Amino acid sequence: MHHYVRMGNELLRKRGYRLTPQRHMILSVIQDADAHLRVEEIAQRVQERNPYVSLSTIYRTLELLQKLGLIRSAHLPGGQLYYEAVQDHIHHHHLVCRQCQHTIHLDTALLGDLHEKLAHMYGFHEVTLDLLASGYCDACLKQLTQEEQNPQPKL
């Protein structure tokens, strides 16, 4: 059992839940992903392992895992909700290109000790920082600049 799934199992038991086969599959799918996953992608990967796991079970499990802090969701470009594993309560920041939607994970140290300052100044504890900044990647900015300099005639 992977470290993340083992940690999830321990937290589930501590909070009075069991690590059912469905929960194990969902945690494993999210842990093994090399990218953010939409619900449909999670469902597809889980149902490849066991076609009898329903979409409602997947939604309920995602809700529980998020409530327990084992996964996080993010609204990335396109209005889709994406899920990923939370490992060691690392803060999570994204830089997203407005044109091509390329997403970059930012350095967790970028915001320094902001969570500690929020706790000290506002009495707000166990803060999760999830920054989403949008702009243009180099390639898209170059393309936009070229289009502005050389506009195509309208027919």
Q: What CATH number should be reported for the domain holding residue 132?
A: 3.30.1490.190
Q: How many angstroms separate the Cα of 72 from the Cα of each of 10, 76, 86, 141?
A: 18, 12, 6, 30
What does the block give as tokens for 102?
Answer: 């390329």
* Residues tagged in the binding site annotation for Zn(2+): 97, 100, 137, 140
Query: What pLDDT shows up at residue 89?
Result: 55
Look over the chain and give the mean of its residue pLDDT values, rounded to a whole number.
84
Domain containing residue 14: 1-88
pLDDT at 124 over 60: yes
* Residues tagged in the binding site annotation for Fe cation: 91
33 compared with 52, residue with greater pLDDT: 52
Helix, coil or strand: residue 81: strand
The domain boundary residue, chosen from 88, 115, 140: 88
Question: How much is the pTM?
Answer: 0.67
pLDDT at 60 over 80: yes
Mean pLDDT to the nearest integer, 7-20: 88
* Residues tagged in the binding site annotation: 91, 97, 100, 137, 140
